Amino acid sequence: MDFPIYKTKIDNGKKFNLTNPDQRKDYFYYKAGPEIEKLKEYIKENTFIIYLLGKKNSGKGTYSKMMAELLGAETLAHFSVGDMIRAISAEIKDPAKKRKLAEYLKQNYRGWIPLEKLIPAIEGRDTKTLLPTELILALIKREIAKRPKKTIFIDGFPRDMDQVSYSLFFRDLIGFRDDPDIMAFIDVPTSVIEERIKFRRICPTCNTSRNIELFPTAQAGYDEASKEFYLVCDNPDCAGFGKQKLVAKEGDELGVTPIKDRLATDQKLMEKAMELHGIPKIFLRNAIPVNVAKDYVDDYELTMAYEFSWNEKNKKVDMVEKPWVVSDDNGVPSYSLQAPAVAVSLIKQLVQVLGI
Ligand SMILES: [Zn+2]
């Protein structure tokens, strides 16, 4: 896949710290102010659907959250099919809710697999029966009907090849008949996903997720015994603020190895969906070759890599940052963009495809 490189650079422009929420907002308005105003105006009266297609861990949730932050969570919803299944599976532990779901499905589900077999599969008791598309569609419809009409970012649908053509008629199925629908493709090199997983650190108290190499907290510590650096939670709402160590989740050290098959399927799915005609498409590109980056993006839009060292004399952790260089899927040395810079290209392309 070769996605177009989107230019977000403004010559001799202002600089922003994109990890700071206030500065991030200023940044968005600085780079795409008129487009944001147009979108805000548009979603007051209209809704649309975006299918986010990208490999697992390509940042689908992040972009949705950023758009909600920018355009208002009251008009925009991120909808993850995986989260939905997990939530329903937890919900139907309550027998009354289980009966209600069965009742709903009796009215709304049509398919080859009998309902009695599907409920255990939703509950996770039966892991062999894969949830068929017909069921997923009925469940999504049910969830979306619960919410007032909103612009929706759908994550996790289509998930398999047989769902690609369903996605073309999806808006009709969920009652969004005349609303525009758009496919947004996210291209992230596997090496980026690998590092995101391997160096992920999570606060056991508040679940804040950071990355010790790419997105550290404000404070880092050093364990002299194990000679390891660690991050300290800096979420002001966390009971462990300023003291709780962030930890690695078991299995994260394996990087992309356990999800290799999923990544390959996601890739094939994207390639297939890109061949579709008649549905507007948006291309979101995470990595830019080092040799052309300076023409397209500002330095502060690049993901930095952080290196820690232990200052024995002052007993403190020193940190240096420099632009992070990774090989993209073709082996080209590249920079990885920070999510807000990719979101700017999303905003601008959205305005274009919606024709507003
Ligand atoms: Zn915390």
Each of the 356 residues of the chain gets a pLDDT tens digit; together they read 779 999 999 999 999 999 888 999 999 999 999 999 999 999 999 999 999 999 999 999 899 989 998 998 888 888 888 889 999 999 999 999 999 999 999 999 999 999 888 888 888 777 777 788 899 999 988 888 887 778 999 998 888 888 888 888 888 877 777 889 999 999 999 999 999 999 999 999 999 999 999 999 988 999 989 999 999 999 999 999 999 999 999 999 999 999 999 999 999 999 999 999 999 999 999 999 999 999 999 999 999 999 999 999 998 999 999 999 999 999 999 999 999 999 999 999 999 999 99
Give ion ligand 1 contacts, CB < 5 A.
203, 205-206, 208, 233, 235, 238, 240
Distance CA 304, CA 338 (A): 9
Whole-number pLDDT of residue 239 = 96
Full DSSP string of 304-354: EEEEEEEETTTTEEEEEEEE-EEE-TTS-EEEEB-HHHHHHHHHHHHHHHH
Strand ordering across the sheet containing 325-327? 287-289, 333-336, 325-327
Whole-number pLDDT of residue 216 = 93
Whole-number pLDDT of residue 170 = 85
Within 8 A by CB and 6+ apart from 50, the residues are 151, 152, 153, 154, 181, 182, 183, 184, 282, 350
Q: Which amino acid is at 192?
A: V
Whole-number pLDDT of residue 310 = 94
Full DSSP string of 248-288: PPTTGGGTTGGGHHHHHHHHHHHHHHHT-SSS-EEEEE-EE
Instruction: Produce one character per residue of 85-121: b if its CB has 16 or more CB atoms within 10 Å, e if not.
Output: beebeeebeeeeebeebeeebeeebeeeeeeeebbeb
Query: Tens of pLDDT along 308-351?
Result: 999 999 989 999 999 999 999 999 999 999 999 999 999 999 99
Q: How far is the CA of 232 from the centre of ligand 1 (A)?
A: 8
Q: How far is the CA of 219 from the centre of ligand 1 (A)?
A: 12
Q: How far is the CA of 157 from the centre of ligand 1 (A)?
A: 31
Q: How far is the CA of 22 from the centre of ligand 1 (A)?
A: 21
Query: Tens of pLDDT along 51-92?
Result: 999 999 999 989 998 999 899 888 888 888 888 999 999 999
Q: How far is the CA of 218 from the centre of ligand 1 (A)?
A: 12
Beta bridge partners, 334, equal: 289, 326
CA 52 vs. chain centroid, Å, equals 8
Q: How far is the CA of 242 from the centre of ligand 1 (A)?
A: 9
- Reported for 229-236, long-range contacts at CB under 8 A and 24+ positions apart, including other chains, are 229/308, 229/310, 229/317, 230/201, 231/201, 233/203, 233/205, 233/206, 233/208, 235/203, 235/206, 235/208
Cβ(227)–Cβ(241) under 8 Å?
A: no
Residue 238 has a CB neighbour count (10 Å cut-off) of: 16
Whole-number pLDDT of residue 125 = 74
Cβ(338)–Cβ(302) under 8 Å?
A: yes
The pTM for the full model equals: 0.89
Question: What are the structure tokens assigned to 130, written together?
Answer: 């894969």
Q: How many residues does the chain have?
A: 356
Give kind and range of the element (H or E) at residue 136: helix 133-146
Q: How far is the CA of 241 from the centre of ligand 1 (A)?
A: 6
Cβ(124)–Cβ(89) under 8 Å?
A: yes
Cβ(181)–Cβ(193) under 8 Å?
A: no
Q: Hey, is 239 helix, strand or coil? A: coil
Q: Which amino acid is at 134?
A: E
Strands (E), the chain: 49-54, 76-80, 151-155, 181-187, 200-202, 209-211, 219-223, 228-232, 281-285, 287-289, 304-311, 316-323, 325-327, 333-336
